[in-house]
Amino acid sequence: MKKIIISGLSILALNSSLSAAGHPNTGCGLGSMLIENQSTVLAQVVAVTINGISGNQTFGITSGSVGCSKPAKLALNDQAQKFVADNMDALAIDVAAGEGENLDTFLSLVKVEDKAVASAKLKQDFAKIYSSSDVTSAQVIDNIINSLS
């Protein structure tokens, strides 16, 4: 629920940046993450939260990730591709740690049965999978498949 408060007070905060709409949440590589909007304490009082305010409206089935190239070795699994593209950093952290919800989800999406074994293997191959700082989600998927096959 977006709360706001009373117009009078908002005069105090001239620059309340509260729109969540502009979050740079796109990209296929590492480092694409939600960034906080700069806001002052007073702006918070006025603007308060980004609750109930959102940018994109989507309905239905999403497929692939816009603007991201497709992995060569993973056919017809839009959901997995999109998941990796949208969660690059979180997945990398789980791969390095050898477990985690993001890794679990990915392995389920690509229908890996023995997740414990796969997780251990990916952890071992971390440096190969995340070979450089400009690695893309498509490359990560291909590298993961290489590592597991």
Partner 1 sequence: MNRRRIFFLLYLSFFSSSVFSFDFTIVEDNKIYSDKYWYKLLHYKNGKSEIDSQEFFLAKDGKTNPKAELFATLDAIVDDNSTFCRFPSRVEWLYQKIPLLHKIKSYTSCPPLEKILKSYNAQSVVLVFPTAHINSPASMFGHSFLRIDSDNNLSLTSNAINYAAKTRESNGLIFAYQGLFGGYEGRYSILPYYKKIKEYNHLERRDIWEYRLNLTPKEIKKLLTHLYELKDLYADYYFFSENCSYNLLWLLEVARDDLKLVDNFSYKAIPIDTIRKVYEAGLIESENFRASKTKEIEAIFEMIDEQREVLDIIDSKRYEDLEKLKNSDKVYGYDLAIELLRLKRSKRNIDKKSYVKDLLSLLRGRSKLEKKKAYKIKKPPNPLLGHKSERLSIALDNKDTFSFGYKPAFHDFYDVDYGFIGGSYINFFHLQLKKEKKEKLKLEKFDLVNIRSLSIRDQIFKPLSWGVSFGLDDFRDSIHGLLNLEVGLSYAIESFYTFFMLKSDLYMRKKAIVSIAPKVGIVKSFKNLKIGALSYKDFFSDGITKEHHEIFTTYQLNQNLALNLKYDIDKIEQKEERKTKVSLYYYF
What part of residues 80-119 is at the interface with partner 1 (CB under 8 A)? 82-83, 86-87, 89, 92-93, 95-102, 104-105, 108-109
Q: Find where tokens 């950093």 sit.
A: 89
Closest by CA position to 99, among listed 78, 83, 121: 121
Report 39-68 residues binding partner 1 (CB under 8 A): 41-62
The yes or no reply on residue 73 touching partner 1 (CB under 8 A) is: no
| Contacting residues for 136 by C-beta, under 8 A, at least 6 apart | 28, 29, 68, 69
Which of 80, 138 has the CB closer to partner 1? Answer: 80
The yes or no reply on residue 148 touching partner 1 (CB under 8 A) is: no
Stated length of the chain: 149
The yes or no reply on residue 142 touching partner 1 (CB under 8 A) is: no
Per rule CB under 8 A, count of chain residues that contact partner 1: 80
Instruction: Give the shortest CB-70-to-partner 1 separation in angstroms.
Output: 18
Cα separation, 71 vs 116, in Å, equals 24
